[in-house]
Amino acid sequence: MRPRRDAHGRSGAAPLLAAAVVLVLGAAGGFVLWGGLDGRRASSQMHTGLDHLPPATASPSRTDSATTSPATPITATPTVVTVTATPPPIPVAERAEPVTATPSSRSSRSSTARETRSTTPSPSTSSSSSSRTSDEPAPGRDVRAEVVRLTNAERAKAGCGPVRTDQALRRAADGHASDMVRHRSFSHTGSDGSTAFQRMRRAGYDGFAAAENIAAGQASPAAVMRSWMSSAGHRANILNCSFNRIGVGYDGGSVGDGYGDGAWVQDFGIS
């Protein structure tokens, strides 16, 4: 198992954003999967449609993937729609397949997955507080807790209530961050074929809605939050006022050659 590394020790990499998917509990009680392709350049194709998600204990029979070699930052541009469901309507995004990238140069990426029904660095080594950059959390602050704090700051600006750490969501998020590093992949699909919602269920989450953001290569909580907030799909997850629970995961390793260090996951839910 790859050891976790400090959140601050890494080369500068341009933040990139990947894909978004959404799961909603429909009025009939079934789960339907949506996704949105977050801006993979103008030449990328947009995929739309509905799939019925198998039970949480099942693994998909195949994993569709796409490869790309980005050289410049990418931002997300999914089309947001509203799904009518038993719970309050949750904004969702166009359908896209999970993205697995093998870039030719060092880069960083982030992605969102949304479904309907929480990482610990060494203290800053700077000799004085004035030498720390604004991106660095206060000495001793857990990077996971810092992501939660920054998330709630953005939600407050939008008039949303705060999200609080849910231990089941944190286990799911931390597990997926480590899984991406261990298996050198960047996807909402786990190495065992699991979806984000299946991982949350296995970790003990019993809510009726959920969403997931992932990212790789950002140097700090502030950097990853800037990446997510610059993408329409990721931002929609963060600013969805229906969510009141969160789990943040972090692994200081790399998800693949050419990527910066650090794998980040946000899992959102409703209690």
Distances (CA, A) of 179 to 76, 196, 251: 24, 12, 9
Confidence of residue 110 (pLDDT cuts 50, 70, 90): low
- Residues linked to residue 109 through DSSP beta bridges, in sequence order: 216
pLDDT at residue 34, as a whole number: 33
Vertex 130: Cα angle to 128 and 136 (nearest 5): 90
pLDDT at residue 138, as a whole number: 52
209 against 83, higher pLDDT: 209
Is pLDDT of 125 > 80?
no
Vertex 18: Cα angle to 14 and 23 (nearest 5): 150
**Structural domains of the chain ordered from first start:** 160-270 (3.40.33.10)
User: How do residues 12-68 score in pLDDT, each as one tens digit?
Assistant: 445 445 555 455 443 333 333 333 333 222 222 222 222 222 333 333 333 333 333
Give the neighbor-by-neighbor strand order of the sheet with 31-37. Answer: 19-25, 31-37, 51-52
Q: Which residue type, as a one-letter code, is found at position 268? A: F
- Residues linked to residue 226 through DSSP beta bridges, in sequence order: none
Confidence of residue 258 (pLDDT cuts 50, 70, 90): confident
User: How do residues 134-169 score in pLDDT, each as one tens digit?
Assistant: 455 555 569 999 999 999 999 999 999 999 999 999
pLDDT at residue 100, as a whole number: 33
pLDDT at residue 81, as a whole number: 28
User: How do residues 188-246 score in pLDDT, each as one tens digit?
Assistant: 999 999 999 999 999 999 998 999 999 999 999 999 999 999 999 999 999 999 999 99
258 against 121, higher pLDDT: 258
The rounded distance, in Å, linking the Cα atoms of 114 and 208 is 12
Is pLDDT of 102 > 90?
no
